[in-house]
């Protein structure tokens, strides 16, 4: 399927839409990359269906594409409903843009509905599992100090992996207050800035890395301002950040499902289990809507039900 010759007319229309998202809406590069990837997948499907011009696309093509993603036909690779929803957002946005620009007479995606995603529950770890992961990196090597600082920061702030690797040294700030509070400046989706405090464990780990780890890596580079550096003195990649967590989980013999968001999910879940207000957690996570954050309340509610069922003498027959 990678060898498909996608018609230039389709590629040009997608390029025009991506340019619109860049210039008019100012979307972040990571978001644009996701749109580009999802729309390219759509173009490959349309090419298999012998579509050569956007005016040929009908609602049948759009719904057929979603069905292919759900079933894995057309060499699409079977995807989860949440991933299909994300791809549908990109496809519908593209069709709406072309309709508004009078490139097409109709919007074939207007009446296509996304699949039911069901109830998604984040893959949070227990506090013991998080502790075992954070204690995995060796404290006597530059890489070990970096990896420990990275994971401590992720768990202390709920930052996305991408947000953490984009940090510069100057984004770690000590406030001039009675507690000498240390905070980190995170830049989330749409480059929206938020300030999140660092706990003492994360502060100690970051400071140890800055003093004994980062200079070793920085010596191999050209003065990068990045907080987290690789052995060549350059900013680490998102894949490296994800591999750090995955490797630590393997070493700690964690059998739970691990994802790039695992420490972020755990951060939110543990805060709510500890009594934090959901709107405070929303601010810390950088969610635009509290509705997004409320998914974690389902996790904590399920935990309470399990504890009740196991401990209360009249919970079960």
Catalytic residues: 160, 189, 261, 264, 287, 296
Strands (E), the chain: 172-174, 182-187, 193-197
Residue with tokens 């196991």: 310
Say if CB 264 and CB 160 are below 8 A apart.
yes
- The count of other CB atoms within 10 Å of the CB of residue 175 is 12
- The count of other CB atoms within 10 Å of the CB of residue 11 is 13
Q: Say whether 226 sits in a helix, a strand or coil.
A: strand
Give CA–CA dist 242/151, Å, rounded: 10
- The count of other CB atoms within 10 Å of the CB of residue 174 is 11
Helices 142-157 and 262-273 pack at an angle, to 10 degrees, of 50
Kindly report the backbone phi and psi dihedral angles of residue 96, in degrees, each rounded to the nearest multiple of 5, phi listed first. -65, -40
Q: Cα 241 from chain centroid?
A: 12
Q: Say whether 162 sits in a helix, a strand or coil.
A: helix
Give CA–CA dist 297/276, Å, rounded: 11
């Amino acid at each position: 399927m990678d060898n498909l010759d996608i018609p230039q007319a389709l590629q040009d229309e997608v390029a025009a839409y991506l340019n619109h998202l860049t210039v008019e809406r100012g979307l972040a590069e990571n978001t644009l990359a996701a749109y580009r990837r999802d729309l390219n997948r759509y173009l490959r499907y349309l090419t298999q269906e012998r579509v050569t011009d956007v005016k040929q696309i009908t609602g049948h093509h759009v719904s057929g594409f979603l069905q292919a993603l759900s079933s894995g036909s057309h060499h699409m690779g079977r995807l989860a409903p949440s991933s299909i929803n994300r791809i549908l957002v990109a496809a519908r946005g593209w069709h709406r843009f072309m309709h508004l620009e009078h490139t097409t007479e109709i919007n074939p995606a207007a009446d296509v509905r996304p699949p039911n995603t069901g109830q998604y529950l984040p893959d949070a770890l227990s506090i013991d599992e998080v502790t075992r992961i954070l204690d995995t990196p060796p404290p006597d090597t530059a890489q070990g100090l970096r990896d420990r600082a990275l994971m401590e920061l992720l768990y202390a702030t709920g930052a996305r992996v991408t947000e953490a690797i984009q940090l510069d040294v100057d984004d770690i700030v000590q406030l001039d207050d009675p507690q000498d509070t240390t905070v980190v400046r995170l830049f989330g989706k749409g480059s929206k800035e938020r300030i999140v405090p660092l706990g003492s464990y994360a502060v100690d780990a970051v400071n140890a890395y800055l003093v004994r780890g980062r200079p070793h890596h920085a010596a191999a580079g050209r003065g990068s301002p990045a907080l987290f550096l690789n052995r060549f003195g350059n900013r680490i990649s998102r894949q490296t950040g994800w591999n750090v967590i995955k490797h630590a989980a393997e070493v700690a013999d964690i059998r739970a499902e691990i994802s790039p968001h695992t420490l972020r999910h755990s951060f939110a879940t543990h805060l709510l289990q500890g009594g934090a207000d959901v709107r405070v957690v929303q601010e810390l996570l950088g969610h635009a809507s509290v509705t997004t954050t409320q998914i974690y309340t389902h996790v904590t509610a399920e935990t309470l039900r399990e504890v009740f069922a196991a401990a209360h003498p009249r919970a079960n027959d």
